[in-house]
Amino acid sequence: MSTSTDQSTEHVDVVVVGAGLSGVGAAYRLQSERPGTSYVVLEAREAMGGTWDLFRYPGVRSDSDMYTLGYSFKPWRDGRSLADGPSILRYIEETASEFGIDEHIRYSSRVVAADFDTATCRWTVQVEDPRTGERRALTCGFLYSCAGYYDYDEPHHPDLPGIEDFAGQVVHPQFWPEDLSYADQRVVVIGSGATAVTLVPAMLADESTNGGSAPAGHVTMLQRTPTWISAVPRVDANAERLKRLLPPAAAHHAIRAKNIAFSTAFYQFCRRRPQQARKLLTGLTTKFLGDPQLVADHFTPTYDPWDQRLCAVPGGDLFKVIKSGAAEVVTDRIASFVPEGIRLESGRVLEADVVVTATGLRLRAFGGIAPSVDGVEVTLPEQHTWNGAMVTGIPSFAVCIGYTNASWTLRADLTHRLVCKVLAWTDEQGYAAAVPTPDGDLGSRPLLDLAAGYVQRSIDAFPRQGDKAPWRVRQNYVLDAATTLRSDLGRTLTGLRPRPVAVPAASATPDAAEPGLVDA
């Protein structure tokens, strides 16, 4: 149970920030691996689910298979490998209810400040109700940010010249209007990432699968440059076979192992044999579209596979609507918006009634939390991450960052368990807090090694990674699973204890005893 340090300030052992897929997973690990640990989950919005509650655009779905994006402790029962947003949201809600996690979630609780006090080895977390602006404080021994690294309040807005002249409606997927009807409309989707390749076929589907609107008349995907896109089966036939042959728990673990092995092997193949990977992907796309020139012009990027995240399209749905003529892809740059649509640098005008700016998200470190120590804000770009979780210079703090080349949850769950191990270590050693401490030069690399624009625009505001373990963020679940939880914590963590407050002697001035830390 939580306790109070005085009549107004509540204290818990752990504060988890965010009640999405990661936050609910973190809560499960805390209560299953550390029974008796008090915790709360602070959620800024009025509902759980994070990404899967926020995004409501047509066709919103996972771009990783649900057997690995789902929890290891809660089997995914749906037959679809890439699931739609509402199904994922129900899965998160069911998990929270089944394990009593929902009782620990506090909604309309946005963390606006967090300060670690070295005298007491405690965090003071300032929480604001977004509806009223009312603020309150609570303290904790460990602060764990599971809010992801996207800015959910403000998407990326590129310069779109003349957009105010457009006579139609402009929509951003992050804030999709519930009452938007695009039936028989001409739609241009600007972008070529996961959101764009999902929207194009979804807006041409019937009402039962796209949120209630009748199909658009025609949809154009306008991209500056091509993206690597791969068709994947809607239903994993091998997974369904394993479900029939094995008991549910055994089938779940077998399917996860199979999918982890495949995704890891495919990523390594792309990185080590880029030319072969290019040939494979273009060959598969040509089979769907039947037009090698179309593939060369619009589906063959200049960069190698997995320099940026590869997009998956279930059942090749994007390719099918392009082949049918209901959709087209145009690779060009915008010269200016005009009343009737978009004028391209080539001179062509794409006529449109609705323009969807699927131009990407913005990154925001730690969900917007700017951690401070003794009242001084930590300069994040000067810090390094340890095991992709804790951060130098910030005691008893961790951030959940998933993989860029595999399911987010795989790495997230490793981080949850690592946090539990750190908490156990501090207890066993008699410490109140712990901070990662480098031994020698770490080197310095961006935290996320992706060439994608959304990463490059904001990554300099994040901590760095080093060039060796455990300071390097490896994009390899197999290696991480084998080593992360076997880390010798005493080699890279410094334990901290509160420093007793000395009673001043009669002749001493009131500030003679300066509070501080006793470390290991």
**Residue pair 59/182 in contact by the 8 Å Cβ criterion:** no
The whole-model pTM stands at 0.90
CA–CA gap between residue 507 and residue 273 (Å, rounded): 75
* Vertex 519 angle, CA 514 and 520, to 5°: 155
pLDDT at 503: 54
Tell me the one-letter amino acid at 318.
L
DSSP conformational letter for 346: T
CB-based burial, 436-459: b 16+ in 10 Å, e otherwise: beeeeebeeebbbebebbbbeebb
Closest CA to 146 of 258, 257, 19, 246: 19
Which three-class secondary structure state does DSSP give residue 231? strand
Residue with tokens 């807090």: 433
Dump pLDDT digits (tens) for 291-322: 999 999 999 999 999 988 899 999 999 999 99
pLDDT at 517: 42
CA–CA gap between residue 43 and residue 37 (Å, rounded): 19
pLDDT at 135: 96
How would you classify the pairing of strands 372-373 and 110-117? parallel
pLDDT at 518: 40
pLDDT at 453: 61
pLDDT at 292: 97
CA–CA gap between residue 378 and residue 435 (Å, rounded): 13
Is 377 buried (19+), middle (13-18) or exposed (0-12) by CB count in 10 A? exposed
Which residues of the chain fall below pLDDT 70? 1-7, 207-212, 449-458, 501-520
Contacts of 134 (CB under 8 A, 6+ apart): 128
CA–CA gap between residue 67 and residue 73 (Å, rounded): 11
